[in-house]
Structure 1
């Protein structure tokens, strides 16, 4: 029986702080890899190439959601997981992954007809292969997370992304056009499976009747249904744009959305593998995990809000420098989406609270309320074009955060006012910083190189933002606890030199 064991101090079992440092460092490396790909592909491919993959991505995300359907979260949050239970979950994932692959393969012509893009009939079957590959990988990821082997999780993630990027760029340079993005996706998925299967030190057994499976499946069902509702809402923008305006406008929006979503994808999603087992362990031991979650909210939201403040206020020089003039229409969309990005970071803390507290059913019910609001806001915003879609998406994220706090206060006794106060202060600091940088860019943006504006903006914005945050005592306490271990390691090195 695999229990929620406490981490040990060696290369593979780490403390919570060390796990966070490892994950953050790895995600920084992964972010650099993906940023390099974003820039390179933007110069090698057209908006239509990117838009075609964006159209298929709507179905890719749906398949990815269904083939897991919350089973990975169920396996991570449970106090004990036997080898038989893990094996059953592995084969369940594999079966659903195969079904999803076959479904998209058969539906490829219908997808092409839906968007009136014949190229999708040949792209979709290849994208479908990733459902099975990723389904086979999932329980190896769970095993690594439950063993607190966050270094292995991080390294395999970074290396798989790097492999996909290298081969994808080679294909693009050879003139493969949108097929280069397909190559990137397939190589990254296959590499991740091989690496994690080879390092997990676990081999699934044959499926068999096993006690406790119904509870795992029920948790997974509620979690998966919540993610399904979230999928419908979160992809309403891409689906609406693709249907109404076609591949090229979707490509423009997609590039803005990729830059907007990169910070959250590179930080929050991987940190779930760290946060969920640690918070769940505290709950199983009868301890209150909300103080730890509050510290995580302050530290993580502070970092991401600064990123969104800089990116949103300086979107024009950023897009001009990184993507080129062909993508200039993405800049205003990026500014608008960045507003919702800060709220999304705060909402992710609530998502962790729902899962760690075992309230998967409440998460589903919460999603039934908040996600339709997001979808309706996006569809209504589309009346005003791409800009309206972006505003709808951002406003929907802000509303969802407020609702999640009230919901957790009722169903799990979360100190919502404390979380609300801390979050609003961070958002306020980000808005002030962003406003100053926007004024800076509006005054000097046309008279200075983009790299100069971005550099000055980053440094000046960092100074303003840090000053504002540190005016609040609780923030200073959290930052001191995060930075003290780093300072303790760096100081001897400086003294030695």
Structure 2
């Protein structure tokens, strides 16, 4: 039993290491190439494509119906289950592709932009790509093959970004972003299908599908509610304001997602299959969860709060003066991102322990609450919408935590204790760079301010961590040492 625990721990550490490392490299390169794209294009180009991505964002969950989560959670799989899910997803993907094409004119009328028609027709293929890739990725994730998944994402993102950059240099405006989406998703789909080594057979079992749906149905409903919430704000901005504002708003959201995608969601993807293997030991799951959110907060809190402090300089230096009005949106998303980075992985508890129905019930309260915040807030402009969402998201997070913690014999105070040391150190770092900016850097150029504040913030945070030694810092150093010792012994 003890040996099994160490084996699972080593597998999880290895998977987290490869997944986070490769994801970071992939996202960082895409981020750098995205900066060049932002300088070559204008916010209106990003806003136009974002209007359509509001709907294609549903591609993964609509073509998957939560079956990927069901495949991962199921202890023993057979070829009938795998192929049934594959053919079901493919059929749904084909249907959704045609639906997107059929309603392209109506979407153009909704946004009052004729360019939307051609963008919709082109991006409709994302439904097809996602339908083919969902099962292969689920199988690889179940087997903790996150190194291979990370390499595939790395290659797909880099290739898609380079092609988009070439198109932008050729003057193809928003079509550069459309082509980026198509190329990236096509390459990812082809490589996942090839590397998963699944055997595609012409077999389909309705009884098997029904059995998997008992778990996946609630996962699908939960993901649908979340996606509706995630896209409602963008749809409202695109419909009631303009594409330029949506471009600024969407770009700010993407920047905020950088640490979340590279830390929180990577760990969530590893935690789900890992915790599924110990689903009958809630106390152990609770200990792992507290350590995980502590480590996540230690990495994401200084990034988010630091970016809030330096956002005007960061935008002007990195993206250019055309994006300078993005600052309030970036600060808003970074504030929400601090909370989002640690709430994101809570879903792994529900799914790993087989409580997808409970997760759905919680989201049946949370997601409409957040949508109400958007709809009520937009009546007072975009600032009102951001305020409404902030209040709604905080309430939703408290509901999510209070429910999930009961499953693993914890309460909200355990979470507060895990996060408190990191929060104090982060606030001290933010106060130091804000004071430095106001007192000593008034006459400096934006680029010198940016460099000085980043260096000062990093040095302050590292020094305080070494001096005060909060638990998350100790845990991260232990993981690094374990990984280093394992590498040396190999």
TM-score (norm 1): 0.91
- Distance, in Å, in 1 between the alignment partners of 2:56 and 2:145 is 28
- Distance, in Å, in 1 between the alignment partners of 2:310 and 2:220 is 37
The 8 Å contact of residues 264 and 342 in structure 2, kept in 1 or not, is answered as: no
Report the counterpart of residue 481 of structure 1 in structure 2.
Answer: 478
* Structure-2 change in CA distance of 1:429 and 1:95 (3 Å): farther
The within-5 A match list for 1:362-381 is 362-381=358-377
TM-superposed CA distance for 1:424, in Å, is: 4.2
Report the counterpart of residue 55 of structure 1 in structure 2.
Answer: 51
Report the counterpart of residue 331 of structure 2 in structure 1.
Answer: 335
In the TM superposition, what whole-angstrom CA distance separates every residue of 1:222-251 from its partner, at most 9, and x where no partner exists? Answer: 011111111122222111111111211111
- Distance, in Å, in 2 between the alignment partners of 1:430 and 1:389 is 27
The 8 Å contact of residues 80 and 208 in structure 2, kept in 1 or not, is answered as: no
* Structure-2 change in CA distance of 1:491 and 1:335 (3 Å): farther
* Structure-2 change in CA distance of 1:400 and 1:435 (3 Å): farther
- Distance, in Å, in 1 between the alignment partners of 2:179 and 2:34 is 15
The within-5 A match list for 1:79-228 is 79-209=75-205, 212-228=208-224
- Distance, in Å, in 2 between the alignment partners of 1:378 and 1:436 is 34
TM-superposed CA distance for 1:469, in Å, is: 5.3
- Distance, in Å, in 2 between the alignment partners of 1:124 and 1:345 is 31
TM-superposed CA distance for 1:458, in Å, is: 2.6
The 8 Å contact of residues 53 and 178 in structure 1, kept in 2 or not, is answered as: yes
Moved more, 298-307 or 61-70: 61-70
TM-superposed CA distance for 1:35, in Å, is: 0.9
TM-superposed CA distance for 1:444, in Å, is: 4.8
Report the counterpart of residue 248 of structure 1 in structure 2.
Answer: 244
SS for the counterpart of 2:444 is coil
The 8 Å contact of residues 79 and 284 in structure 1, kept in 2 or not, is answered as: no
Report the counterpart of residue 495 of structure 1 in structure 2.
Answer: none
Moved more, 51-60 or 422-431: 422-431
Report the counterpart of residue 42 of structure 1 in structure 2.
Answer: 38
- Distance, in Å, in 1 between the alignment partners of 2:351 and 2:273 is 10
Alpha-carbon RMSD across the aligned residues, in angstroms, is 2.6
* Structure-2 change in CA distance of 1:286 and 1:315 (3 Å): closer
The within-5 A match list for 1:434-473 is 434-444=430-440, 446-466=442-462, 471=468, 473=470
TM-superposed CA distance for 1:17, in Å, is: 1.0
- Distance, in Å, in 2 between the alignment partners of 1:262 and 1:475 is 21
- Distance, in Å, in 2 between the alignment partners of 1:137 and 1:444 is 53
- Distance, in Å, in 2 between the alignment partners of 1:69 and 1:394 is 29
- Distance, in Å, in 2 between the alignment partners of 1:232 and 1:209 is 31
The 8 Å contact of residues 320 and 450 in structure 1, kept in 2 or not, is answered as: yes
Moved more, 159-168 or 345-354: 345-354
In the TM superposition, what whole-angstrom CA distance separates every residue of 1:144-203 from its partner, at most 9, and x where no partner exists? Answer: 112221211110011000111111111111111100001000000010111111111112
- Distance, in Å, in 2 between the alignment partners of 1:165 and 1:429 is 36
The within-5 A match list for 1:321-470 is 321-411=317-407, 413-444=409-440, 446-466=442-462
SS for the counterpart of 1:132 is helix
- Distance, in Å, in 2 between the alignment partners of 1:357 and 1:490 is 32
Paired positions, count: 485
- Distance, in Å, in 1 between the alignment partners of 2:366 and 2:304 is 23
TM-superposed CA distance for 1:374, in Å, is: 1.6
Task: Please tell me whether residue 275 in structure 1 is matched to residue 275 in structure 2.
Answer: no
- Distance, in Å, in 1 between the alignment partners of 2:440 and 2:379 is 33
Unpaired segments ≥5 residues, structure 1: 493-497
* Structure-2 change in CA distance of 1:489 and 1:210 (3 Å): same
- Distance, in Å, in 2 between the alignment partners of 1:25 and 1:100 is 34
- Distance, in Å, in 1 between the alignment partners of 2:259 and 2:380 is 27
* Structure-2 change in CA distance of 1:213 and 1:384 (3 Å): same
TM-superposed CA distance for 1:210, in Å, is: 6.8
Moved more, 23-32 or 208-217: 208-217
TM-superposed CA distance for 1:360, in Å, is: 0.8
* Structure-2 change in CA distance of 1:443 and 1:110 (3 Å): farther
* Structure-2 change in CA distance of 1:445 and 1:340 (3 Å): farther
Moved more, 139-148 or 321-330: 139-148
